[in-house]
Amino acid sequence: MATTSFLYHSLGLVGYRHLSTEYGGGKLTHHVERASGKRNCGECGALRPFITLDGRFQRTFLALPVGRKRQEVVLHGHIQVCSKCGARGREPIPFADGKARFLRALNRLIVDLCGITTMKYVAQYLGVGWDLVKDVFKAHLEKRHRKRKLRQVRYLAVDEFATHKGNRYMTVAVYLETGEILHAHEGKDAAALIPVLQRLKRAGVPLKAVAMDMSDAYSKAVREVYGEEVDVVHDTFHVVALASKAIDDTRKDMVRELQGEERKAIKGTRFLLLKGLESLKESSMSRLMALMELNEPLYKAYLLKEDLRMFWSLPDAEAGKTFLDEWTTEARAVGNRHFMRLADTLNSHRPGLLAYFKHRISTGPLEGLNNKIKVLKRQAYGYRDMAFFKLRLYFLHETSVLMPG
Cβ proximity to Zn ion, 77 vs 320, nearer residue: 77
Query: Binding residue for Zn ion (CB under 5 A) from 43, 216, 224, 307?
Result: 43
Q: At what angle do helices 194-202 and 216-226 cross, to 10 degrees?
A: 30
With binding defined as CB under 5 A, does residue 275 bind Zn ion? Answer: no
Give min distance, CB of 32 to Zn ion, in A. Answer: 23
What sign does the dihedral 207-209-210-215 (CA atoms) show?
Answer: positive
Q: Does 84 bind Zn ion (CB under 5 A)?
A: yes
The region of 1-9, 43-51, 317-325, 361-369 touching Zn ion under the rule CB under 5 A is: 43-51
Name which of 84 and 90 has its Cβ closer to Zn ion.
84
Residue with Cβ nearer Zn ion (46 or 308): 46
Q: Which of 46, 153, 324, 353 binds Zn ion (CB under 5 A)?
A: 46
Helices and strands, number each (H, E), in the chain:
17, 10
Residue 210 binds to Zn ion (criterion: CB under 5 A): no
Nearest to 221 by CA among 345, 203, 213: 213
Long-range contacts (CB closer than 8 Å, 24 or more residues apart) made by 43-46: 43/82, 43/85, 43/87, 43/89, 44/82, 44/84, 44/85, 44/87, 46/82, 46/83, 46/84, 46/85
Tell whether residue 172 is a contact of Zn ion (CB under 5 A).
no
CA–CA distances in Å: residue 397 to residues 224, 370, 371, 391: 29, 11, 12, 12
**What SS3 class is residue 158?**
strand
> Could you tell me the smallest distance in angstroms from the CB atom of residue 50 to Zn ion?
6
Neighbours of 343 (CB within 10 A): 22
User: Which residue among 14, 19, 44, 277 contacts Zn ion (CB under 5 A)?
Assistant: 44
Task: For Zn ion, give the closer residue by CB, 78 or 305.
Answer: 78
Q: Which stretch binds Zn ion (CB under 5 A): 9-17, 44-52, 129-137, 163-171?
A: 44-52
Binding piece for Zn ion, criterion CB under 5 A, among 34-42, 209-217, 342-350, 374-382: 34-42
41 makes contact with Zn ion (CB under 5 A): yes
Q: How many amino acids of this chain bind Zn ion (CB under 5 A)?
A: 8
Q: Does 285 bind Zn ion (CB under 5 A)?
A: no
- Tell me which DSSP letter residue 38 carries: G
CB atoms within 10 A of CB 141: 19
Which residues from 339-368 bind Zn ion, rule CB under 5 A?
none
What are the φ and ψ backbone dihedral angles of 93, each rounded to 5 degrees?
A: -120, 95
Shortest Å, Cβ 89 to Zn ion: 10
Measure Cα distances from 34 to 54, 87, 90, 277 in Å: 14, 18, 12, 74
Instruction: Name the DSSP letter for residue 137.
Output: H
Of 42-50, 113-121, 130-138, 397-405: span binding Zn ion (CB under 5 A): 42-50
Positions touching Zn ion (CB under 5 A) are 41, 43-44, 46, 82, 84-85, 87
